[in-house]
Amino acid sequence: MFLLVMVLDDTSRLNEVLHAWDEAGVPGVTILESTGLARTLERHNARGAYAGFSQMFGAGRIGHNTLFAVINDIDRAAAVASRVEAILGDLNNPHTGILFVVPVLAAWGLGRVKEPTANEE
């Protein structure tokens, strides 16, 4: 099993990206609102009345969406990456996002995720 994680830079593209994950066979995705270091420091370093007005009217709410899901195989991650890049472009370009996979050694509460076979280990 693997944990597939994406930090999506442009939150307006969230629904498109979620559809791509679904089409690639990822049955359940958890979504968190998140903000990176650079954007947080930029917001806190804003000066004068503009900073106050931007916070008051929502313009100061800048951030990302962090998506994650447990998947069974690395091929599914590659399928997600392909579909996501078809929407956002090359993820190596700035202001697109990052996508990565980490191994999951054990998991509980994932009744729909089957045990890996000898080929998948």
Q: pTM of this prediction? A: 0.76
Compare 44 and 63 and report the one with higher pLDDT.
63
17 near 84, Cβ under 8 Å? Answer: yes
Averaged pLDDT for residues 46-51:
52
Q: Which two tokens stand for residue 75?
A: 């091929």
86 near 56, Cβ under 8 Å? Answer: no
Element (H, E) at 4: strand 2-8
- pLDDT category, 63, cuts 50, 70, 90? confident
Compare 120 and 42 and report the one with higher pLDDT.
42
What confidence score (pLDDT) does residue 27 get?
A: 79
Report CA 5 to chain centroid distance, whole Å: 5
| Cα–Cα distance, 21 to 28 (Å, whole number) | 9
